[in-house]
Structure 1
Amino acid sequence: MAANTEAFSGGFSNPVFESQSVFRMVMDGMARPGTIRTVEQDAGQPDPLGSAAGAIALTLCDHDTPVWLSAGFSQSAVAEWIGFHSGAPITREKAEARFAFKEASSALSSFGLFSAGTQEYPDRSTTLVIEVEALGEGQELTLAGPGILHSTTAKVAGLPETFLRLWADNRTLFPRGIDVILTAGRHFLCLPRTTRING
């Protein structure tokens, strides 16, 4: 019963305006990779989903976007919450997911299991939302590519050990490949597939 209560609670208090605001932040974040954004909107998401990840789920997921959840999320009220508030179907197949959410400290397997899109429709790929411990502190990454003048740095605490290797493999697929959003509490930064990363 507690899980059902959590699933039906929360959500944006003003869905149209709040989702528009978060959508603009995500689009701006994708246009300026590595820039930390702060979500002020309260999505009322259940644990262990963070505030930014919850707001992104409510904004980007709908009945046409299958969602994959890592074990910690799928075994909590998060799956029902996303389904109830967005209408998005939950899938166990990574290749079917348009959006995927991974909780902090869980293992990160190959990006190749997710959809990389096709040459004709590269936008039909998975966007992977990864919870980390913190943004603005921790491991320093040097970012370069479209949307970045020369280069910029981003600090991330709790980035999965395999991430940089998987990201390098992902970039070789361009224009195919997945996009990533790193979240920590109310903060997030975007890493479109065009971004080069050196740890």
Structure 2
Amino acid sequence: MTTATKTNPFSGSDAFSGGFSQPVFDAQSVFRTVLDALSRPGQPKSLSARTRPPKPMSGLLADILCALTDQDTAVFLDPTLAKAKGVANWLRFQTGAPCVTNPAEADFVAASAPDALPPLSQFSIGTADYPDRSATVLIAVASLEGGDAVTLSGPGIKDNVTFAPKGIAPGLWQQLIANHAHYPRGLDVIFVGPDAIAGLPRSTVITTGEG
């Protein structure tokens, strides 16, 4: 006779481990780095992964979600992450954040790669009265350099800076240019590399090689 086992709601991955080892200290440190990155657009800020999420979510992507999300912030996972075994359960256990399938309901968006990101027009850009009610989009990239370059200007940038994350499809830049046109509404974006992050807030002006 076999003994019945209790079903683990987080089965499919070790959802109980891999989070911040020092939750308060780690979250504050990551939060400060994120603010620094958004205040200096396009300038990579070094960051070492402190979490070990289920694959294919990167450690730095998980770090930012663990630092910024909680039970009151909805997260949209791209199709690759949403289908991956254990990612949603791990995030829910570590942060309390609910995962949503409707992009318009998301406070945070996690994309495992630039080509995994749905059209930006599907996400909330806030309202005229509440422009802060917009989504923050996290995009994992292979590198924050070595790709096709764009020029950034605007608040937090002296003159301009060149930004060239690797693997960005030209169509994404056009979407981000359109996003800036909604300012002060609009999405804030964080590019997440292997060992650094770079911010691209809605206030940043993007100029491509095509003008």
TM normalised by structure 1 equals 0.94
Q: Compared with structure 1, are the counterparts of its residues 71 and 33 closer, same or farther at alpha carbon in structure 2 (3 Å cutoff)?
A: same
The answer to whether the 8 A contact 1:116-1:125 is kept is yes
Q: Secondary structure at the match of 2:54?
A: coil
Q: Distance in 2 between matches of 1:41 and 1:18?
A: 10
1:38: which partner in 2?
A: 46
Q: Distance in 2 between matches of 1:70 and 1:52?
A: 16
Aligned amino acid, residue 38 of structure 2? M
Aligned amino acid, residue 59 of structure 1? A
Q: Secondary structure at the match of 1:57?
A: helix
User: 1:96 Cα shift?
Assistant: 0.6
Moved more, 155-164 or 54-63: 155-164
1:190: which partner in 2?
A: 199
Aligned amino acid, residue 56 of structure 1? I
Q: Compared with structure 1, are the counterparts of its residues 107 and 72 closer, same or farther at alpha carbon in structure 2 (3 Å cutoff)?
A: closer
The answer to whether the 8 A contact 1:18-1:41 is kept is no
Identity of aligned residues (%): 39
Q: Distance in 1 between matches of 2:69 and 2:171?
A: 27
Q: How does 1:51-130 map to 2 (within 5 A)?
A: 51-76=59-84, 77-104=86-113, 106-130=115-139
User: 1:37 Cα shift?
Assistant: 1.4
2:182: which partner in 1?
A: 173
Moved more, 98-107 or 26-35: 98-107
Q: Distance in 1 between matches of 2:98 and 2:185?
A: 24
Q: Distance in 2 between matches of 1:153 and 1:119?
A: 31
Q: Secondary structure at the match of 1:139?
A: coil
Q: Distance in 2 between matches of 1:40 and 1:114?
A: 29
Q: Distance in 2 between matches of 1:160 and 1:87?
A: 33
Give the counterpart of 1:142 among 151, 163, 167. Answer: 151
1:28: which partner in 2?
A: 36
Aligned amino acid, residue 15 of structure 1? P
User: 1:194 Cα shift?
Assistant: 0.6
User: 1:4 Cα shift?
Assistant: 3.2
2:141: which partner in 1?
A: 132
User: 1:172 Cα shift?
Assistant: 1.2
Aligned amino acid, residue 6 of structure 1? D
Q: How does 1:3-18 map to 2 (within 5 A)?
A: 4-18=12-26
TM normalised by structure 2 equals 0.89
Q: Secondary structure at the match of 1:163?
A: helix
Q: Distance in 2 between matches of 1:3 and 1:106?
A: 29
Q: Secondary structure at the match of 2:191?
A: strand
Q: Secondary structure at the match of 2:34?
A: helix
User: 1:115 Cα shift?
Assistant: 0.5
Q: Distance in 2 between matches of 1:169 and 1:17?
A: 37
User: 1:156 Cα shift?
Assistant: 0.8
